[in-house]
Amino acid sequence: MRMAEKAIELIGINKSFGAVRANRDIQLSVERGTIHGVIGENGAGKSTLMSILYGFYQADSGEIRIGGKPVSIKTPNEAIAHGIGMVHQHFMLVENFTVLENIILGAEGSALLNSGIARARGELHRLEQEYGLEVDPDAVIEDLAVGLQQRVEILKAFYRGAEILILDEPTGVLTPAEADHLFRILRRLKDEGKTVILITHKLREIMAVTDNVSVMRQGTMVATRKTSETTVEELAELMVGRRVLLHVEKGEARPGEVKLSVRDLTVTDQRKVDVVKNVSFEVRAGEIVGIAGVAGNGQSELIETIAGLRKATRGELTLNGRKVEIIGVRQGDLRDQGLAHVPEDRHHMGLVLQFEEYENAILGYHDDAEFQKGLLMDLDKVRHAASSMIEKYDIRPPNPRLKTANFSGGNQQKIVLAREIEQDPSVLVVGQPTRGVDVGAIEFIHRRLIEMRDAGKAVLLVSVELDEIRSLSDRILVMFDGRIVGERGPDASEGELGLLMAGVVQKEAAE
């Protein structure tokens, strides 16, 4: 039987950052013309490994082989020269340039720009036809949907001659329909002989589209499996090192009185554009209301306004039966009235990364009487409270004096959740609770949110992860273009929700 040709071989790769060993004797072999998944928890070392392959970092030791030949890759340009392209999670596009301008940027190929553009237009048309990546070459990037922007990134890589394509968390900003289309493109690329490396934390995507999958844990490569011969459960256990509950276990909701009421809320951004448009809904005690939607459709502005971080243009907010002045409310006032907020962006809005863990554990609540001793803060009480949260929420490493920047993303998220949940709020507003969080921490966070619901709290959940919304929510609201375009139950299909997320609103049958 003929041996499969290797597109990439990483042999004995080691990389340290100071005392931290990010990659330990990594062995990875990727067959040509396949889709190969690389998964692992945050801090497992997969991003470092791909950065070595793409020339952002250099390994301390080890060897890279492309097509069986040893190569030296010290810069991204050298990676490109060896036929490696990379599509980053956050796109590297100039938003006010056209598609064509972005694709040729840095590779114009002629001192006479017009002749270079003419040749590029012909090559772009060929690539679009060959790989099913159609996009208007004269469209301005900022006018394109996210899925089309991603196609531009892929076209950029192939315009530069990529035979090997690395995709980092490619579906995080896509609707289900856009994600399905991306997978069709990836399968077509494979059929054309291209090699794809897919970095993702979504195990079901691994099962749907990859041929092989490699699992990293704590800087080592612990397993490689044929995707057809493994399961989601096995991959999760390999990632975490223990059995993981992948399905949220919860009983029926027992909704009580209305705790949060939003009426005709409109929010206008700095461009004088309405980003939230006449939104109304309620959240009751003992239920989780999820808001689904593709990022950028007003969800962020909605929850920031409810949490007191952004001013509303008009509308009414009622919290625990009391009307709140929503035009100029302060977050501290809302906290005093029983509302806690876990922001979408923990780094910029939830934590001060250079603070020690115990300082972040009370951030926003540092003026509370329990932490004061006369005119000064009682640091012993603060550190005791932080240590208690560390134990209760399994925050690792269990060191309240460690700078928060040195915790993994999942543990940083636990710090924020612990701080807000331990205030025993009546209303919890949570944005993207598991963004960038590994599968073990996801299980823990989901369990905590269900416990809040079952304790009679009202939980408002915003997530771009449709599986998360469907698993946790008792009612699902869908936002598109700043409006609530539909309400569904948790048994709504992915297809039905996906259509609503894309703005396709089907008229209800006449009574």
What are the DSSP calls for 182-229, one per residue? HHHHHHHHHHTT-EEEEE-S-HHHHHHH-SEEEEEETTEEEEEEEGGG
- The strands making up 6-17's β-sheet, listed across from edge to edge, are 20-31, 6-17, 61-66, 69-71
* Residue 326: pLDDT band with limits 50, 70, 90: confident
More confident residue, 36 or 333: 36
Mean pLDDT computed over every residue of the chain: 89
Cis-peptide into 397, omega within 30 deg: yes
Distance (Å, whole) CA 338 – CA 357: 24
Average pLDDT over residues 80-91: 87
DSSP characters over 334-347? HHHTTEEEE-S-II
Q: Where are the alpha helices (DSSP H) in 331-483?
A: 331-336, 357-360, 379-392, 409-421, 439-454, 466-472
Whether residue 189 contacts residue 36, with contact meaning beta carbons closer than 8 Å, is answered with: no
Q: What is the DSSP letter of 242?
A: S
Tokens of 492: 């709504």
Whether residue 269 contacts residue 301, with contact meaning beta carbons closer than 8 Å, is answered with: yes
Distance (Å, whole) CA 426 – CA 86: 45
What Å distances lie between residue 412 and 199, 352, 419, CA to CA? Answer: 21, 10, 11
Whether residue 24 contacts residue 219, with contact meaning beta carbons closer than 8 Å, is answered with: yes
CATH class (in words) of the domain with range 6-240 = alpha beta
- What's the pLDDT score for residue 508? 43
* Residue 145: pLDDT band with limits 50, 70, 90: confident
Most confident listed range (135-144, 340-349, 453-462): 453-462
Distance (Å, whole) CA 43 – CA 15: 13
Whether residue 159 contacts residue 165, with contact meaning beta carbons closer than 8 Å, is answered with: no
Could you check whether 6-240 and 258-357+406-501 share the same CATH topology?
Answer: yes
Give the tens place of pLDDT for each residue, 21-69: 899 999 999 999 999 999 987 678 888 899 999 999 999 999 999 999 9
Asked if residue 177 has pLDDT above 80, the reply is: no
Give the tens place of pLDDT for each residue, 478-497: 999 999 999 999 999 988 99
- What's the pLDDT score for residue 107? 66
Distance (Å, whole) CA 294 – CA 33: 31
Q: Is 476 in a helix, a strand, or coil?
A: strand
What Å distances lie between residue 222 and 117, 165, 215, 217, 317, CA to CA? Answer: 47, 23, 6, 6, 51
* Residue 112: pLDDT band with limits 50, 70, 90: very low
Average pLDDT over residues 198-210: 88
Give the tens place of pLDDT for each residue, 225-238: 999 999 998 998 89
- What's the pLDDT score for residue 327? 67
Tokens of 390: 């560390």
CB atoms within 10 A of CB 37: 26
| % of the chain beyond a pLDDT of 90 | 59
Distance (Å, whole) CA 114 – CA 99: 16
Assign 3-state DSSP to the chain and report helix, strand, coil percentages, each to 5. 35, 25, 40
For 508: left if phi > 0, alpha if psi spans -120 to 50, otherwise beta; the answer is beta
Average pLDDT over residues 353-361: 95
Distance (Å, whole) CA 431 – CA 440: 19
What is the amino acid identity at position 171?
A: T
Asked if residue 507 has pLDDT above 80, the reply is: no
- The residue among 255, 298, 285 whose CA lies nearest residue 485 is 298
CATH architecture of 258-357+406-501: 3-Layer(aba) Sandwich (3.40)
* Residue 172: pLDDT band with limits 50, 70, 90: low
Tokens of 178: 């856009």
- What's the pLDDT score for residue 452? 97
Average pLDDT over residues 102-126: 73
- The residue among 465, 500, 481 whose CA lies nearest residue 172 is 465
Q: Is 100 in a helix, a strand, or coil?
A: helix
Which of 155-169, 174-188, 259-273 is predicted with the least confidence, judged by mean pLDDT?
A: 174-188
Asked if residue 401 has pLDDT above 60, the reply is: yes
More confident residue, 23 or 119: 23
Whether residue 86 contacts residue 157, with contact meaning beta carbons closer than 8 Å, is answered with: yes
- The residue among 337, 332, 328 whose CA lies nearest residue 305 is 328
Q: Scanning the structure block, which residue is given the tokens 């276990």?
A: 249
- Which residues in 347-457 belong to E strands, given as ranges? 372-373, 376-377, 427-431
Q: Give the domain ranges of the chain.
A: 6-240, 258-357+406-501
How many residues in the chain?
511
Whether residue 428 contacts residue 459, with contact meaning beta carbons closer than 8 Å, is answered with: yes
Torsion of the alpha carbons at 130, 133, 136 and 142, rounded to the nearest 10: -150
Average pLDDT over residues 191-206: 89
> What is the separation, in whole angstroms, between the first and last Cα of the chain?
65
Give the tens place of pLDDT for each residue, 258-267: 999 999 999 9
